[in-house]
Amino acid sequence: MWTSYLIYVFIAIGLTFNGLGVVGLLRFPDVYTRLHAATKATTFGSIFTSLGVVTWAFTQLYLSGNSWNLTLALHSLIAIAALLLTNPVGAHAIARAAYKSGVKPKYAVVDRLEVGK
Amino acid sequence: MIDIWFLTGFVIIVWILLSLLRVIFGPTAADRVVALDTINTLIVAVMVVLSVAYRELIYVDIAIVYALLSFVSTLYIAKYLEGGI
């Protein structure tokens, strides 16, 4: 079916962005830029690999009519929603904790949190 | 022929091993927490993919629970670094 090409595209996008996030995690100079690269890119990539799973499940549901596939699709969507809601909040908490524990941005031009004190 | 889902899971596991380098060599504690958060996200992705590879529905449910619990543990470590506990 034509959705198999859609699954390949989704998985390629997901793996590419997961890899870019990991490369950014390894190569960026300080905590905040690493957090910026890793959190956004891996959240996006994981959403796209899970969307590939959802597309596969709906295709199998259309082909075979087995309700197991519908359950798989809905639970994958719930997993996507859990990632999408919890990841930015966790990144915010880590960044705030890093700043409060005394880690400074390495090449900071201006530090508004320091100015505001 | 290798199944496309097993191949996807293998590539994500390679990314997990690469980000494990940041957990090992991270200069500060915050770097290690960032790498751990990345690994948690990637583990949720690989669980969803492997549930299709093995045709097991229960893996996706475990991925949901893992996402929520890893969020709680990230918040707890962040609160500890901040000095709140």
**Nearest chain A CA: its distance from B1 CA (Å):** 16
> How many Å apart are CA A39 and CA A32, to the nearest integer?
10
pTM of the model: 0.91
Compute CA distances B18 → B21, B45, B71, whole Å: 5, 16, 21
Compute how many other C-beta atoms are within 10 angstroms of the C-beta atom of residue A60.
19
Q: What is the pLDDT of residues B61-84, one digit of tens each?
A: 999 999 999 999 999 999 998 887
| Residue reference for tokens 């524990």 | A101
Chain B CB contacts of A72 below 8 Å:
51-52, 57, 60
The minimal CB distance from A96 to the residues B37, B45, B82 is found for B82
Judged by a CB distance cut-off of 8 A, whether residue B79 touches chain A is yes
Chain B residues whose beta carbon lies within 8 Å of the beta carbon of residue A46:
41-42, 44-45
List CB contacts (< 8 A) between A35 and chain B. 34
Contacts of residue A75 in chain B, CB cutoff 8 Å? Answer: 57, 60-61, 64
What are A42-84's pLDDT values in tens digits?
A: 999 999 999 999 999 999 999 988 888 999 999 999 999 999 9
Whole-number Cα distances in Å, A101 to A37, A104, A110, B30, B59: 21, 9, 19, 9, 37
CA of A18 vs chain B CAs: smallest distance (Å): 7
Nearest chain B CA: its distance from A56 CA (Å): 9
Identify all chain B residues contacting A9, using CB atoms and an 8 Å cutoff: none
Residue among A79, A94, A100 whose CB faces B74 most closely:
A94
- The per-residue pLDDT for range A12-51, each reduced to its tens digit, is 999 999 999 999 999 999 999 999 999 999 999 999 999 9
Mean pLDDT over each residue of chain A, to the nearest integer: 90
> How far is the C-alpha of A103 from the C-alpha of A100, rounded, in Å?
7
CA atoms B58, A50, B34, B16: torsion sign: positive
Angle subtended at Cα B36 by Cα B71 and Cα B26, rounded to the nearest 5 degrees: 145
Name the band, by pLDDT with cuts 50, 70 and 90, for residue A110: confident
